Amino acid sequence: MAKKPQTSPRDDAEQRRSRKDILIARKHERQLRNVRIAAVVVIALIVIVVAVALINELALTPNRAVATVGDRSIALRDWQQRVTYERAQRIIFLENQLEAFGGDVGIVQQFGGSIINELLDDEGLGENVLNVMAEELVICDAAAERGIEITDADVQNEINTNFGFYGEGVSPTAQPEPTQTIQPTPSLTPIAPAGATAVPTETPEPTATAGPSPTPFPTPTPLSEAAFQEQFGGIMTSLTDLGASEAAYRNVVRAQLCRTRLADALAEEQSLSRTAPQASLFVITADTEEAANEVQAQIEADGYLTAWNTIQSRVDDPEATEAPPTASFELLWRTQDSLAASVGASVAALAFDLPVDEPSDVIAVDNGDDTTTYYLIMVSGREERELSESEYQTRQDELLQTFADEQLTGTLQLNELWRSRVPTLPVLDSKFLAAPTATPELEATEAVIPTIAVEEPTVAPEPTTTE
């Protein structure tokens, strides 16, 4: 048997160190491998989390409902696009106003203050848009249920009409000439002022006379296709520059068509009358109770028409520093709603209750600004009459609004998700928030009156008085 080779202690030590280094190296390699695996896992988890967040934010969340109406919903994406459009539209309006008023921010703030306040109230505007979209949803659904279809061609035709484009070289359809209606004489014959040679005869009752000949509608100038494209393109560019989309604009036009056509359908379904009770009345107003009582005393002594005509025929005093405390006018054939808008609900109600040709007592109406107006009226006539086109349109709109409110009651649900996602862009330019520049005070200086050569005056012809 061969003998095992002899090794020195030094060789044994080196072998032991070599094995130890190998073991340490292997351990270190395992640790590095574990670190690499952990890093890969962490990175993978981060990627997964980011991907899920992106998918949720870009794909899932935009499709979440911010409002539901029954089984229909409004997606977050659609609502945000609409809010952005509404903000852009308002900003464009303010910019156009600023240009029209020569850069005077103060005037724009005066006439467009409510719009500026809307743009500053992000949440309020967002909620208002959400409610409008919910209303449009039920209106368009109701229109579809009645077989009313709004096509893309309908939307484009409506856009063309709004811009005055009816086709190359085509004028709009001529408006029908309005029929001549019989109108009452607008007032009593005025009492002649002092010094007049004769006193005209008072006409106590309005007599039916033919109204003035209607003024024909002007023929609009047809807009060329090139001009239309230029104008339309300019508007779309302004909207897109502010972050709005043409699709949002077209959706607004589509919703308006739904409103118009459903209003017509509801009016037909419910046989909305084109006539309504109307009244004509003489009106005397007074700024103070004392003045009203004085007029009432004159009415009791001389009759309502004399008192009304005395005030109506009063000659203005150019040197007076204050307006007279009384005034008189006549309102011809007004509906109760129309009268309420002019003289208040209480006076309007009395106009349809007071006997004809019987003067009223003094009616005090609170104006809501710490002032009171005193009315004395006398109804001269009441009858069923045809509504004007604007009045009929108003009644159609009221009918449509009532229908929409009924459909939304108990069915509209808002998701609080919208409150944290209200678009704030585009931002209103800070120039619209600047304080108006105060008018500088001028130092008082002694006025120098220039010397003017006086010439013999030329006798001017007497002006012709037109009755």
CA distance linking residue 228 with residue 166, whole number of Å: 10
CA distance linking residue 189 with residue 207, whole number of Å: 12
For 6, half-sphere exposure in the C-beta direction (CA atoms, 13 angstrom radius) is 1
Contact 141, 259 (CB under 8 A): no
CA distance linking residue 372 with residue 364, whole number of Å: 7
CA distance linking residue 250 with residue 237, whole number of Å: 14
Q: From first to last of its 467 residues, what are the pLDDT tens digits of the chain?
A: 555 556 566 666 666 667 777 777 777 788 888 888 888 888 877 776 766 655 655 555 677 999 999 999 999 999 999 999 999 999 999 999 999 999 999 999 999 999 999 999 999 999 999 999 999 999 999 999 999 999 999 999 999 999 989 876 555 544 444 444 444 455 565 555 443 333 344 444 444 433 333 334 344 456 788 999 999 999 999 999 999 999 999 999 999 999 999 999 999 999 999 999 999 999 999 999 999 999 999 999 999 999 999 999 988 877 777 889 999 999 999 999 999 999 999 999 999 999 999 999 999 999 988 899 999 999 999 999 999 999 999 999 999 999 999 999 999 999 999 999 999 999 999 999 987 665 445 444 443 334 333 344 343 444 444 43
DSSP code string of 289-321:
HHHHHHHHHHHHHH-HHHHHHHHHTPPP-TT-S
CA distance linking residue 361 with residue 364, whole number of Å: 10
Cis amide linkage into residue 9, ω under 30° from 0:
no
Q: Which CATH code is given to the segment(s) 276-315+322-386?
A: 3.10.50
Looking at residue 374, the DSSP 8-state letter turns out to be: E
CA Rg value for the chain: 39
Residue-level pLDDT at 317: 79
The number of beta carbons lying within 10 Å of the beta carbon of residue 207 is 7
Residue-level pLDDT at 448: 39
CA distance linking residue 41 with residue 133, whole number of Å: 46
Residue-level pLDDT at 368: 86
Rounded to 5°, the CA angle 389-163-105 comes to 95
User: For the chain, which residues make up each domain, given as ranges?
Assistant: 17-62, 67-170+223-272+393-430, 276-315+322-386
Residue with tokens 């209200």: 422
Residue-level pLDDT at 211: 37
